[in-house]
């Protein structure tokens, strides 16, 4: 029986996704499935097809949060783990997830500069976007808001907090996050401090000011094609 469904959206990740998938598959868990969607990127799709994972394809590049929402209906596990196509999962990831039954589990990550992952340094904050959550709860909350292409993981956390949903923060580093020029946090257009990020912060501040968290957004999703089961 599948317990964990790891959901990965890949766009221009062909250089990294193989190593990402190996870090998950090498843990040898038979209660874990991996679902990868290529977000309008043939190159990422070609790499993912070489691994024993479920592979989907979107003809249009829609963004990571739309892709996450779109794959949930195909997940058979009762726990969803959202993960970056350019990141690495630590060997004890699922062992740590097994220790807690809270509806949402977040965890620490370390940054490393591609390609030298020996330069990893623990981040001072627990990540917003990589977490494990009960599938039924994610659906009940209508998934990620897709108003913007970044920062909507923060919106999801704030929405959960406003609805008094319990979150457990695991203090262990369970992910190595790769820093490279095309990641959302490093690209000029979407990095922290960019004009686009400022629009995201204003959007979140407005929702907080008006306490506009009671009604979850309509879950935005698109049809994706199953390429390999």
* pLDDT at residue 194, rounded to an integer: 80
Q: Among all chains, which residue has been given the structure tokens 């990141």?
A: 87
Angle at 107 between CA 16 and CA 38, to 5 degrees: 30
Q: What is the pTM of this model?
A: 0.91
Question: What residues make up the domain containing 27?
Answer: 4-228
Count how many domains the chain has: 1
Q: How far apart, in whole angstroms, are the C-alpha atoms of residue 125 and residue 177?
A: 13
* pLDDT at residue 113, rounded to an integer: 73
- Exposure string over 77-114, b if 16+ CB within 10 A, otherwise e: bebbbbbbbbbbbbeebbebbeeeeebbbbbbbbbbee
Burial class (CB in 10 A: 0-12, 13-18, 19+), 17: buried
* pLDDT at residue 88, rounded to an integer: 92
* pLDDT at residue 190, rounded to an integer: 65
- CATH number of 91's domain: 3.90.550.10
pLDDT in single tens digits along all 229 residues of the chain: 999 999 999 999 999 999 999 999 999 999 999 999 999 999 999 999 999 999 999 999 999 999 999 999 999 999 999 999 999 999 999 999 999 889 999 998 888 776 665 555 555 567 776 789 999 999 999 999 998 888 888 899 889 988 999 889 998 989 888 876 666 666 667 677 788 888 888 988 888 888 887 777 889 999 999 999 9
């Amino acid at each position: 029986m599948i317990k964990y469904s790891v959901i990965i959206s890949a766009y221009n990740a062909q250089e990294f996704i193989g190593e990402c998938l190996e870090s998950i598959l090498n843990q040898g868990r038979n209660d874990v499935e991996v679902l990868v969607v290529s977000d309008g990127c043939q190159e990422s799709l070609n790499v993912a097809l070489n691994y024993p994972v479920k592979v989907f394809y979107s003809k249009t590049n829609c963004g990571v949060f739309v892709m996450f929402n779109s794959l949930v209906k195909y997940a058979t596990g009762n726990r969803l783990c959202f993960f970056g196509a350019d990141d690495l999962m630590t060997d004890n990831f699922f062992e740590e997830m097994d220790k807690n039954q809270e509806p949402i589990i977040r965890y620490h990550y370390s940054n490393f500069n591609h390609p030298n992952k020996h330069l990893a340094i623990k981040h001072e904050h627990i990540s917003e976007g990589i977490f494990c959550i009960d599938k039924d709860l994610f659906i009940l909350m209508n998934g990620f808001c897709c108003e913007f292409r970044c920062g909507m993981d923060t919106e999801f956390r704030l929405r959960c907090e406003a609805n008094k949903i319990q979150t457990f923060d695991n203090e262990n580093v369970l992910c190595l996050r790769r820093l490279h020029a095309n990641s959302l946090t490093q690209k000029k257009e979407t990095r922290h401090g960019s004009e686009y990020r400022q629009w995201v912060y204003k959007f979140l501040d407005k929702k907080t000011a008006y306490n506009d968290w009671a009604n979850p957004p309509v879950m935005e999703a698109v049809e994706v094609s199953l390429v390999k089961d």
